Homo-oligomer: A and B are copies of this chain.
Amino acid sequence: MPKYSRQREAIREFLAARYDHPTAETVYRNLREEFPNISLGTVYRNLTLLTELGEIRKLSTGAGPDRFDGNTSPHYHFICNGCGCVLDLGVGGLDHINILAGQNFEGVVEGHLTYFYGKCPSCTKNKKPIDKPFSVV
């Protein structure tokens, strides 16, 4: 078990209170208000540790830096092609695709990672993407 640290606790709380899946940089900038001397290295170290402990989830979107999610309950993510925002989806019960994937396969399928893409509610209504695509601070 790792030793307690105020920094790690603050990172955990910060992520638990946010629903926009911030990047390490965003966590760092916000944590500096409470810890003016916190370093980006510490943020990365703790994000990695919390991910390994299963207390947060890391999202690798394939474009730009990784994002982090304080919500570890089983759920899926939606990435908007318009503005780049990352949203939680309520969908569940997709585990059957592991069975489908395991058919005609000699190995063992233990799980899957899925990202859904499309237009978020905001971009759907506004038809045009907002000014700053993929910048979510």
A101 pairs with B113, CB closer than 8 A: no
List of B residues within 8 angstroms of A124 by Cβ: 106-108
Shortest distance from the beta carbon of A105 to any chain B beta carbon, whole Å: 6
Partner of A121, one of B60, B107, B116: B107
- Interface-lining segment among A2-10, A38-46, A87-95: A87-95
List of B residues within 8 angstroms of A97 by Cβ: 91, 94, 97, 114
List of B residues within 8 angstroms of A33 by Cβ: none
24 pairs from A and B in contact (CB 8 Å cutoff): A60-B61, A62-B113, A78-B101, A78-B107, A80-B107, A87-B107, A89-B105, A90-B103, A91-B101, A101-B116, A106-B124, A107-B119, A107-B124, A108-B118, A108-B119, A109-B116, A109-B118, A110-B119, A111-B117, A111-B118, A113-B114, A113-B115, A113-B117, A114-B114
Which A residues have a C-beta under 8 Å from some C-beta of B?
Answer: 58, 60-63, 66, 76, 78, 80-81, 87, 89-91, 93-94, 97-98, 100-101, 103-124
